[in-house]
Structure 1
Amino acid sequence: MIVVQYVTFDCAQPYELAAFWRDATGGEFHPETKKEDDEILLQGGGVDLLFIKVPEGKTVKNRLHLDLAGSAGTTRDEEVERLLGIGAKVFADRRNPDGTGWVTMLDPEGNEFCVCRAAHEYA
């Protein structure tokens, strides 16, 4: 049996991108984190995320992305607004008039992720 240890982001600015995802997910920096590190580990927030500095920039659509959903008490639409406030951008709004659908967003380095309805919104 094997387990997923981290979801890793190749990026230009590991600390800055990790700070965005910390604010997005509620995760915390590993206790030994230094702002100038080329590898930054963000723990908690559902899954541990690792940010590694690479020389090349993002050039194509992600082949893997995160789907996020609000926790109890927040909705998809509230989370979209909150994420916009911390630096995300809307890439494609796929919300439907009946409340279904999702919003594809971009983090500060252009990585796609989706914001879906929370479990309590399906009731």
Structure 2
Amino acid sequence: MALRWYSTVIDCHDVAAQADWWAQTLGWKVAYADDDEVTLVPAHASVELVRATPWAQVPPGLVFVPVPEGKNVKNRLHIDLAPHLTDDRDALIAELLERGATRVDVGQDADEVTWDVLADPEGNEFCVLSSREV
């Protein structure tokens, strides 16, 4: 028996703004929204497609929920994003920075790593990896 990775939950202050930022970043769509929760799923996901997909192969979503406290320390879990080989990685990072991401130093040696560490507008770290074919 195995469990399915159903979703990743992101705590935040402004649920709608965070969900919108990540939807733009990933090209995903809102599957559910109210004042206390927004759920994002891949843009190609539809109820019909999900029902036709074997349970274990349905991709996870992102869920944004409000919390009163602020973020104080480095995330213990983060999302890795990767551009395709045909994408302009530097331009994608520049766009993220223009939309409110910030560069973060978590102790990485900039001369030896193949990823950039950024934080979303509420400070949650994520990495932009080197370009990949798959």
TM-score using structure 2 length? 0.76
Q: CA offset at residue 47 of structure 1?
A: 4.1
Residues 42 and 88 (structure 1), Cα distance of their counterparts in 2 relative to 1, 3 Å cut: same
Calculate the aligned-residue CA RMSD, in Å: 2.1
Structure 1 unaligned segments of length 5 or more: list them.
none
Over the matched positions of the two proteins, sequence identity in percent amounts to 36
Q: Deviations for 1:45-92, whole angstroms, at most 9, x for unmatched residues? A: 674100010111111110000010113521432221121122111113
Residues 1:118 and 1:26: Cα distance change in structure 2 (over 3 Å): same
Q: Tell me, which stretches of 5 or more residues in structure 2 are unaligned?
A: 44-58
DSSP-derived class of the 1:81 partner = helix
Rounded to whole Å, the distance in 2 between the matches of 1:74 and 1:39 is 32
- Answer with 1 or 2: which has the greater Rg: 2
1:78 and 2:79 equivalent? Answer: no
Residue-by-residue CA offset, 1:78-114 (whole Å, 9 max, x unaligned):
22112112211111385548xx611100100000000
Could you tell me how far apart the structure 2 residues matched to 1:94 and 1:41 are? 35
Identify the match of residue 44 of structure 1 among 38, 42, 45: 42
The equivalent position to 2:123 in structure 1, one of 110, 113, 118, is 110
Q: How many residues end up aligned between the 2 structures?
A: 115
Q: SS state of the match for residue 119, structure 1?
A: coil
Distance (whole Å) between structure 1 residues aligned to residue 123 and residue 25 of structure 2? 15
